[in-house]
Structure 1
Amino acid sequence: MSEPTAPQVPAMSALRRQALRHHLMNEIERPARRPRRMLVLAPAAGVLAVAVAAGAIAQPWAPDSAPLIVTVEQGDRSGATLLLNRMAAAAADTPDPTSGEGEYVYIRSRGAFAELGDGPARLQPVHEREIWIPRNERGDGLLRQPFLNVPIIGVIPERETLTDVTPNAALVDLPSNPDALLEKLYRERDERGRGNSRDGAAFTAIGDILRESLVPPQTTVALYQAAAKIPGVEVVRGVTDAAGRRGVAVAHTERSQRKEWIFDEQTYEYLGERSYLVADTADGPAGTVLGTTAVLQRAVVSNLGQRPER
């Protein structure tokens, strides 16, 4: 199920310590009057481009542009277990994506983040992102993206070496039994003692793994089966990812925010993520988009900084 040289390291511990972290905003209390800040997605959230509900791609915009609003569709909770188990069955028949030679996992993505503060949330300009993660042994990784100045983190250079990164093999070294996997994620949430609920934290953790790693088929099966057991998970259809690809989403809602994993409806290939408000809040009306991503390429490469053929 997992690569044999992987050390026993708790899943996601290193990626969560890298420059961009998806659920950082969920780990802090909001003051009554908030300074402007960026909602940042995990390194696992590649580069995001913005798509409207109808499927058209929005162009990069100025920071003072109007918020992006999508229609809040009704989720289908009864169909979530059926879909996730069907996806698990399909994943069991796919080839291992980590086969072949190479020391680094390469992931290219695109996306946009929302800036939160006094007034409605507004997405920042679209940018592309590339990350190199050690495949088997803990060590240095690499992040490439346009120069950013994220208020809560500071300056993120165009090229940044990521030190002491948990390898991909350790990130996907998870229990094959879905009940044991879910219990592990709940236990890690309880050890932190803050942030999202146990169910919300488990959903986020599974999304982190799906988004920015190469996952063996058996682990993918366990992740989908575990997700099917999370209360409140639902299906949302007719969703568009950040590259304009339409698909079906597996979603979970907490604190007036819906998070979606988007998949191709025919092949069940992972496409990207989207998050938005489902109720009116201080950050904007229902439908305000807080983040949108699209994973464009995954590969194994031999050298740090090497790009595969597109």
Structure 2
Amino acid sequence: MSEPTAPRVPAMPAVRRQALRHHLMNEIDRPARRPRRMLILAPAAGVLAVVVAAGAIAQPWAPDSSPLIVTVEQGDHSGAMLLLNRMAAAADRSGPSSGEGKYIYIRSRGAFAELGDGPARLQPVYEREIWIPRYERGDGLLRQPFFDIPIIGVIPERETLTNVTPNAELVNLPSDPDALLAKLYRERDERGRGTSRDGGAFDAIGDILRESLVPPQTSAALYRAAAKIPGVEVVRGVTDAVGRRGIAVAHTDRSRRNEWIFDEQTYEYLGERSYLVAATADGPAGTVLGTTAVLQRAVVSKLGQRPER
């Protein structure tokens, strides 16, 4: 299955994106003391997975960088399969409406936790724009706030991304949910590190949903595959990074719950949220580790072109 009108291209290991995005959260050894660092959202093709020094940006919620805590609601395991299959059926009824253009444009906002000695502290929400080649591997573009990374160096506000995996390659996935899930498990097993096998598959699907333009039929296959992952649950009354309320499809791994947030009526993807469900060295249960909101997806003709808002 591929994006409408897209040429057939080899499938990309989806877990490669997942590994980079979740590397800091899932594979950090915890010494007795370590410098504080902030998680940064990696671009679509896994170009960046970095940490930034504490204090680079002022806190939006509290002047003392207090952690943001949410209530850990009880998840509904029995409702997850019902919801995901209902979402898949709705996607099956949708027609292609992506339009013509050479690049996928995605505008989002997000905030990620600063980790180190003591509780995790959520950094400010910042806006991010990314342009991804639609059909052929090539240059992309990333715009987000200026960061100065101690080890990596300066990440400018505008950065050209080279050799980016095209959107068509990312969404070229098996239409059969069992085959799709087997592919994700196989890629997780090949990597052999990080999250659990089920958590790795869940996160890989989330990466595809978050920062790509997914055809309706591909979305349907992803939802049906997610319904088969053990431990998937529904959490109601959640909010994304800009305060929009929705319903979440969630999975818990290593005391951390990751959620995909959807509009409860239209099933439109809104964003993600990640937080602790049990007390750890990073904070008490409910400590938010990341929150995002996708504000706009579009197809544009030129790199750097913005669609109408």
Distance in 2, Cα, partners of 1:116 & 1:152: 16
* Percent identity for Structure 1 against Structure 2: 83
Q: Is the CA contact (8 Å cut-off) linking 2:274 and 2:291 kept in structure 1? A: yes
Matches within 5 A, 1:287-298: 287-298=286-297
Q: Is the CA contact (8 Å cut-off) linking 1:37 and 1:151 kept in structure 2? A: no
- CA distance 1:107–1:181, shift in 2 (3 Å): same
Deviations 1:219-243 (A, max 9, x none): 1111000000000000000001111
Partner of 1:105: 104
Mapped pair 1:73 → 2:73 = yes
TM-score (norm 1): 0.89
Secondary structure of 1:120's counterpart equals coil
Q: Is the CA contact (8 Å cut-off) linking 1:96 and 1:217 kept in structure 2? A: yes
Matches within 5 A, 1:55-204: 60-61=60-61, 64-98=64-98, 100-150=99-149, 153-204=152-203
- CA distance 1:30–1:124, shift in 2 (3 Å): same
Residue type of the alignment partner of 1:35: P
The higher relative CO (CA closer than 8 Å, separation ≥ 6) is in 1
Distance in 1, Cα, partners of 2:292 & 2:166: 23
Secondary structure of 1:81's counterpart equals helix
Distance in 1, Cα, partners of 2:151 & 2:226: 31
Count residues with an aligned counterpart: 294
Partner of 2:308: 309
Distance in 2, Cα, partners of 1:154 & 1:26: 23
Partner of 2:235: 236
Q: Which moved more, 1:156-165 or 1:88-97?
A: 88-97
Runs ≥4 in structure 1, deviation > 6 angstroms?
A: none
Q: Is the CA contact (8 Å cut-off) linking 2:11 and 2:173 kept in structure 1? A: no
Residue type of the alignment partner of 1:25: M
Distance in 1, Cα, partners of 2:174 & 2:301: 28
Distance in 1, Cα, partners of 2:282 & 2:233: 24
Give the CA deviation at 1:23: 4.0
Partner of 1:50: none
Structure 1: unaligned runs, 5 residues or longer: 46-58
Give the CA deviation at 1:35: 2.4
Residue type of the alignment partner of 2:136: E
Q: Is the CA contact (8 Å cut-off) linking 1:62 and 1:125 kept in structure 2? A: no
Q: Is the CA contact (8 Å cut-off) linking 1:9 and 1:166 kept in structure 2? A: no
Distance in 1, Cα, partners of 2:138 & 2:181: 28
Deviations 1:91-129 (A, max 9, x none): 11112243x210000000001111000011111122100
Secondary structure of 1:208's counterpart equals helix
Deviations 1:141-166 (A, max 9, x none): 00001102356754321001110000
Partner of 2:52: none
Q: Which moved more, 1:73-82 or 1:31-40?
A: 31-40
Distance in 1, Cα, partners of 2:192 & 2:83: 31
Partner of 1:272: 271
Mapped pair 1:8 → 2:7 = no
Give the CA deviation at 1:44: 5.0
